Structure 1
Amino acid sequence: MKNVKLIKVWDALHTSYWFLPGILAISSIILAVVTLTLDHIIDFNDWDWLYAGGPEGSRAVLSAIASSMISVTATSFSITIVAMQLASSTFGPRLLRNFMKDTGNQIVLGVFIGTFIYSLLVLRAIYNEDFDLFVPHLSVTVGLALAILSIGVLIYFIHHASTIIQVSHVLQSVSDDLDKAIERLFPEKIGVNPQVNQPYREDVPPDFSLQAYPIKNNKNGYLQAINDEKLMEIARQYDLLVHVKFRPGNFVVKGSELVMVWPGVRVNNKLKQQLQQIFIIGKERTEQQDIEFPIQQLVEIALRAISPGINDPFTAIRCIDRLSAGLCYLVQRQFPSPYRYDYDNQLRVMVPSLDFEGIVDQAFNQIRQYSNSDAAVTIRLLEAIALVATHTKNPHHREVLRRHADMIERGSHEGLPESQDRKDVYRKYDDVIQSLAANYEM
């Protein structure tokens, strides 16, 4: 992935509440300077469509705009914070990141703040002393236009604030993150993926564990991303074999071995720094190269929904639908090999592999464990497995799906006291088995 650090910086800015409002505030300052300059250069007294009031009227208008804008800004910010608190308690604190990166809220705050700053700057330029009169008609007119725009933005904000906390909107946002993360599936594009029948394990030097040199991590945090192309470039430049010990999403403790480099005799301080810089470590997980993170977000929403305190199985069913959609997309992609070759067919990088079994475990295990007493959620889990089965012909994928179907069916024996509910689950389980068998015969 190119420019991983730039992507990390942009992600930090995009999830902040100061960057975009700050840009709009600076833009309002520039706009005020431009309009006031035009008012000094051009005589707008004969322009009928511009504001034609005197200095007192202009001050009153701009003062009203400025005072109302700062009040609306405070109210909007308060509503945003309340919405985030509600989302945190309902969907989980890990979902706050999705609300922080909402561009709509950032634009609303920026427009209100920008209108306030613009009104103040134009207000101070109006004077009427000793027969020296200056009323910036164009600037006051633009201020009125910004006030009208702010009213429209306020109406949009009221609608938007009530929309973003709806379950359907939250699930759609997380599902989109999952789809995008699958497209960036790490480490699919590190070098060349070996052929299935290639004896790539024989390319690992027999003395690798003895001669490899460990490069250690220098801080605690979550591994957010790896600059995969830079890693391959360094391995080729120094003629190295690099074994990456962690994958994005793992928590890395200070002093842990990030990579093992073979041969170790080629490692120097410069190489250590180069390798450490390609690992982006932060205080929280992101979906940039971690497809398990959005999956766990959907699972968290589902678990909160089926908890005794909330008891909302319909939201859990929606989460299962989103998980099944993501898995249907995932099984159609080729899982990359943990052994990555350069274009000269030389083994350069070994990475922890992402496997379908682990991802399905993340998606279904906890929901299955906490919902075995809910027939509707249990049946939807089986329907999700049947749906995923229709999108794959991979024997290993089918084995994993069959294992989960078996566990769901066995769990219903103890979780569902009503015999008819158990019969309904078994009928759906039988449909899953038939679907897996039909897919196998294709």
Structure 2
Amino acid sequence: MNIQRFMPRPIRKLLSLSSHQLKYELRSNLWFICVIYALIGIGIAGIAYWIDISSQYGESAPAFFSAGYSQTSTIVSSLIAGSITLNAFTLNSILVVLTNFSGQFTPRMLVTFVADKRTQHVLGMFNLVFVFILMAFFLIDANVETYVAFPTLTIIFMFLGLATFIYFLNHAVNWMQVPNLTLNMKNESQERILATLVQDLEPYRTKEPNTSVDELPETDKMYIAADGAGFVQIIDYRRMVSYAEDHNLVVKLEKRIGDFVLEGIPVVSYWKKDNTPVDENALRRFIFLGSKKTEVQDIEFGINKLKEIAIKSIGNDDPNTASNAIYQLTDLLLSISKITRFTPYLTDTNNDLRVIIEDESFDYYLYAALAHISIYAKSDPIITNDVLEALALLTESVAGENHDMCWNFAAMIARGYISPFVFEHNEKRFYASLRSISETTDKREEYRSLEEELRARLTPDNE
């Protein structure tokens, strides 16, 4: 009997996640770390209660560390108000600043800041201090004359809260500097997306399964429709491959991670190899729909965050920020090309084809990252040159099988640029980047033809 069938969908979603996916879900929510720190605060308050009230060690403690009931009550009641004020001031100030930054760059910046482990530990520490002092306020007893743990720990925690406040301000200021902002977003995408894919998807990928797709006739294909609307957030590849192996199926995913589906739209199809009964609801449960896109398995989602920063920076006449985002995007694309094997076939331990995912390739992510930026920069020689220089660096680093894609994309960007060059320096950078890409990809003849075409159109003397 499968108990998970009777569990709420959010619980089933968490239970199906790998360790990397579960870590992402927990880190994306402040409540988890705050609950942990609150429990620590309650535990410390319990220890202090045992020291001061159950064992009454305060009577034998040095006078410097001990305090009477009235003094302890005054300390605790005063500092609990200070703790609340400190927390409220900090969070209010940071939220105002982050809201402004979100409007300027990307609304996903707030989520990224909240998911930062330093941010979460700082907020957790604030929670610990407040919970401990609040517990102390209710636990101190007028019948006990001398206290040592409660007053001492209350003062120590308040100083710790003040130090945390200063650290938090410094952390927030550093985090919101544009180079750090784009670097943090890129690192987050590399950590969460690529690490998740390596563990959950890549072990099953192969380019040459035992079964050919040509052996699967379309007439025998059975479709399973979505039972609700939403974005495809997570696909449980491990259990899907296992289920297909147990029931001798070949399953095809009709939608990719991040796609939006409506109720009744096919999301999964399958081929039966024998008469083993198939529970279509089981296959449907391996796909989790939600109200928003997430970064757990969606490579494109991580790319879009940096792309949004670059595009908004172009609109705000901030070329330095746009350039920084472009180079971080290039680094992310390089990581994707190194880790991901671009094949749609997932197999079991016997290399038998079990799951077919939506076909993808390196050029798909290359276009997703830089095509939109190049459209916004088609009249801006500075940003266009940054895109071409970043592409030249990427071309030198990726495997040879991706060189044709890089050259074709570079030629497309160059042809899309429409503004004649006013400054010779910009023109030299433009053609130098194209020349570098052509030499790396062995497209020298194509480059000479492209250069003649572009000079005829972009040189001011020819206007």
- Which TM-score applies when normalising by structure 2? 0.84
1:6 and 1:434 mapped to 2: Cα distance?
Answer: 43
Contact 1:372 1:416 in 2 (8 A): no
Cα shift readout 1:19-73 (whole Å, capped 9, x = no counterpart): 2222222322222122111222143333227522222221111112111001111
Equivalent position of 2:182 in the other structure? 171
2:250 and 2:264 mapped to 1: Cα distance?
Answer: 21
Equivalent position of 1:102 in the other structure? 116
Matching residue's letter, 1:436: T
Which residue, 190, 215, 219 being the options, matches 2:224?
Answer: 215
Matches within 5 A, 1:128-139: 128=142, 132-139=143-150
SS of equivalent residue, structure 1 residue 299? helix
Contact 1:20 1:107 in 2 (8 A): yes
Shift in Å at residue 162 of structure 1? 1.3
Contact 1:127 1:135 in 2 (8 A): no
1:340 and 1:90 mapped to 2: Cα distance?
Answer: 41
Shift in Å at residue 107 of structure 1? 2.8
Shift in Å at residue 221 of structure 1? 1.6
Shift in Å at residue 242 of structure 1? 0.8
Equivalent position of 1:407 in the other structure? 412
Shift in Å at residue 390 of structure 1? 1.2
Matching residue's letter, 2:307: V
Contact 2:211 2:353 in 1 (8 A): no
1:402 and 1:205 mapped to 2: Cα distance?
Answer: 35
Shift in Å at residue 153 of structure 1? 0.7
1:243 and 1:53 mapped to 2: Cα distance?
Answer: 71
Matching residue's letter, 2:170: H
The question of 1:435 aligning with 2:440 is answered yes
Which residue, 282, 287, 290 being the options, matches 1:282?
Answer: 290
SS of equivalent residue, structure 1 residue 87? helix
Inter-CA distance 50–146: structure 2 relative to 1 (3 Å threshold): farther
The question of 1:19 aligning with 2:32 is answered yes
Which residue, 145, 164, 171 being the options, matches 1:153?
Answer: 164
Contact 1:70 1:112 in 2 (8 A): no
Cα shift readout 1:210-255 (whole Å, capped 9, x = no counterpart): 2222111122222122111111111111111111111212222222
Inter-CA distance 2–438: structure 2 relative to 1 (3 Å threshold): farther
Contact 1:301 1:319 in 2 (8 A): yes
Matching residue's letter, 1:426: Y
Percent identity over the alignment is 24
Equivalent position of 1:391 in the other structure? 397
Shift in Å at residue 152 of structure 1? 1.0
Equivalent position of 1:201 in the other structure? 213
The question of 1:260 aligning with 2:266 is answered no
1:194 and 1:81 mapped to 2: Cα distance?
Answer: 48
Matching residue's letter, 1:44: G
1:43 and 1:94 mapped to 2: Cα distance?
Answer: 51
SS of equivalent residue, structure 2 residue 57? coil
SS of equivalent residue, structure 2 residue 108? helix
- Which TM-score applies when normalising by structure 1? 0.88
1:411 and 1:121 mapped to 2: Cα distance?
Answer: 65
1:182 and 1:243 mapped to 2: Cα distance?
Answer: 23
SS of equivalent residue, structure 2 residue 58? coil
1:164 and 1:267 mapped to 2: Cα distance?
Answer: 55
Aligned residues: 428
Structure 1 residues not aligned, in runs of 5+: none
1:380 and 1:438 mapped to 2: Cα distance?
Answer: 21
Shift in Å at residue 156 of structure 1? 0.6
2:205 and 2:330 mapped to 1: Cα distance?
Answer: 30
Structure number with the higher helix fraction is 2
Q: Which has the larger displacement, 259-268 or 154-163?
A: 259-268
Cα shift readout 1:167-203 (whole Å, capped 9, x = no counterpart): 122211221133232344487436351339x88333x
Equivalent position of 2:448 in the other structure? none
Inter-CA distance 378–271: structure 2 relative to 1 (3 Å threshold): same
Contact 1:313 1:377 in 2 (8 A): yes
1:96 and 1:148 mapped to 2: Cα distance?
Answer: 28
Matching residue's letter, 1:238: H
1:28 and 1:183 mapped to 2: Cα distance?
Answer: 33
Matching residue's letter, 1:430: R
Inter-CA distance 353–218: structure 2 relative to 1 (3 Å threshold): same
Cα shift readout 1:96-126 (whole Å, capped 9, x = no counterpart): 3212212333333332333233223323344
Matches within 5 A, 1:230-269: 230-263=239-272
Q: Which has the larger displacement, 180-189 or 238-247?
A: 180-189
2:20 and 2:276 mapped to 1: Cα distance?
Answer: 28
Matches within 5 A, 1:273-352: 273-307=281-315, 310-333=316-339, 335-352=341-358
1:133 and 1:241 mapped to 2: Cα distance?
Answer: 72
1:300 and 1:220 mapped to 2: Cα distance?
Answer: 26
Contact 1:190 1:232 in 2 (8 A): no
1:438 and 1:47 mapped to 2: Cα distance?
Answer: 82
